Amino acid sequence: MTFGVSIRHALYAVIELARADEDNPVSVASIAQRHSIPETALAKVFQRLVRSGLVVGLRGPHGGYVLSRPANEISVLDVVRGFEPVADDARTPLADLDALEEFFGVFDEQVRKVCESVTIDRLAANHKASF
């Protein structure tokens, strides 16, 4: 599992939403400016975050985006799943794989476990988190 640019942008976005006051939606423009992300690219990321059910868009003069549920209930894996499929189980027994495929299978499973165990509130905390 790799974290492409869109996933990284999505993680920056949900962390910003987690840090924000839940009564004040955050605009795409403010996040884009803070993290030097092209606004059009970030707008596409937000479309996927909305479709995945992780954020809600609010319209109006003070509109923007908020998390759909508390940050401690959203894992990094939840964000990743909005951008690429993540296999939850091995489909091929390890005995049938060559050594490199076996390595990638084990590696992907470990990354998935870490992503599942880390919640957005941990990443949003102002202290250095240990993983």
Write down the domain spans for the chain: 5-124
- Compute how many other C-beta atoms are within 10 angstroms of the C-beta atom of residue 56: 15
Average pLDDT score over residue span 11-27: 92
60: left (phi over 0), alpha (psi -120 to 50) or beta: left
Q: What is the pLDDT of residue 94?
A: 56
- Compute how many other C-beta atoms are within 10 angstroms of the C-beta atom of residue 101: 12
- Which residues, in sequence order, are bridge partners of residue 57? 65
State how far the Cα of 19 lies from the Cα of 26, in Å rounded to an integer: 10
Of residues 7 and 90, more confidence is placed in: 7
pLDDT band for position 4 (cuts 50, 70, 90): confident
H or E element: which one contains 66?
strand 64-67
Helix axes 28-35, 5-19, angle to 10 degrees: 110
Of residues 88 and 76, more confidence is placed in: 76
CATH 3.40.605.10 fits 5-124, yes or no: no
Per-residue pLDDT for 96 more than 80? no
Three-state secondary structure string covering 86-118: CCCCCCCCHHHCCHHHHHHHHHHHHHHHHHHHC
Share of the chain above pLDDT 90, in %: 63
43-81 per-position pLDDT tens digit? 999 999 999 999 999 998 888 999 999 999 999 999 999
Helix axes 39-51, 5-19, angle to 10 degrees: 80
24-48 per-position pLDDT tens digit? 899 999 999 999 999 999 999 999 9
Alpha helices in 1-131 (DSSP H): 5-19, 28-35, 39-51, 76-81, 99-117, 120-124
> pTM for this structure?
0.82
